[in-house]
Amino acid sequence: MSAAHEPFAELAAGYALGALDPRDAAAFERHLAERCAECEESLRAYREALARVAADEREAPPPHVRAALLGRIAPAPPLRRSRPVRLVVAWAATAALAAGIAAVVTASAVGARYEARIAAIAREADALRAELAVQTRTVADLQRKVDEQDHALTMVRAESAEQARTLALLGDPATRVVTLAGAKPSPNAQGRMLWNPQAGGLFVAAALPPAPAGKIYELWAIAAGKPRAAGTFSVDPDGRGRVRVEPIAGVAAVDVFAVTLEPEPGGTSPTGEIYLASKEA
């Protein structure tokens, strides 16, 4: 082993592992290009050793990979890498002759150069493909974040629209405020109804007991002795609840608003006990 060779003997191990830093890798490749038999042999032996390490890790791949590959190669014969190279070489030689240029470059040298270029292009394409896979994932992540923000925005918009409706309701002279008082099961409960026969209304309740499982509070608008379902609501741990009420078709004046506890999901006529009720208007 020559002294000049020695540093490359060390680089060969790192090169076989693909672990050389770019400058060392380039230096070693230049050395290999000079056809150093010792390094070629070390590299060969190291690669066999690494293949044996890999053999300790064997793992069956998922079946779809095989199917995808066989599907991919079914239709046409494979594009031999060496064949287009030969075509390129033949073309280059023809072109050189046609132009009357002395063919100082041997076909094999041209071939080797194209081989190397094609290999380099293939490597770049692979790196780009890997990069693309990563970017595709990044894009998917960003898309998910955008979707989340979109959702949050929709919620904020809905809330804001709700507040705008409430303000409009309060500003309308036709709106009146109806107070509901707690009935027997919940004497401390309170309710307020902002009611506008054209625009509908907003009902809020406070200090109601939590609804038992399977039950829900339902608001009724009683007109001409007939109760109409005006919406259902649940209450938070402080007994607060709210429900937006749509205008009731064909009803000009509501006499009484009342809240009962009904089996979920609420019904079209009251069956349960009254928890809140307004005085007759």
Of 14 and 200, nearer to other proteins (C-beta) is: 14
Among 33, 97, 116, 127, binds other proteins (CB under 8 A): 127
Task: Give the CB-side neighbour count of residue 96, counting CA atoms within 13 A.
Answer: 14
Of 106 and 136, nearer to other proteins (C-beta) is: 136
Sign of CA dihedral 81, 87, 93, 95: negative
Site for other proteins contains 73 (CB under 8 A): yes
Block residue for tokens 């494979």: 78
Block residue for tokens 């070629």: 40
CB 21 → other proteins: shortest distance, Å? 5
Q: Residue 77 class from Cβ within 10 Å (0-12 exposed, 13-18 middle, 19+ buried)?
A: exposed
Of 72 and 184, nearer to other proteins (C-beta) is: 72
Neighbouring residues of 240: CB distance < 8 A, sequence distance ≥ 6 = 204, 205, 206, 207, 208
Site for other proteins contains 70 (CB under 8 A): yes
Rg (CA), the chain: 41
Site for other proteins contains 57 (CB under 8 A): yes
Among 26, 33, 69, 167, binds other proteins (CB under 8 A): 69
Per DSSP, the residues of 190-248 read: EEEEEEETTTEEEEEEESPPPPPTTEEEEEEEEETTEEEEEEEE---TTS-EEEEEPPP
Site for other proteins in 134-173 (CB under 8 A): 134-135, 138
Site for other proteins contains 81 (CB under 8 A): yes
Of 40 and 148, nearer to other proteins (C-beta) is: 40
- Using CB under 8 A, count the residues that bind other proteins: 59
Residue ranges in contact with other proteins by CB under 8 A: 9-10, 13-14, 16-21, 24, 40-42, 44-62, 64-66, 68-70, 72-74, 77-83, 122, 126-127, 129-131, 133-135, 138
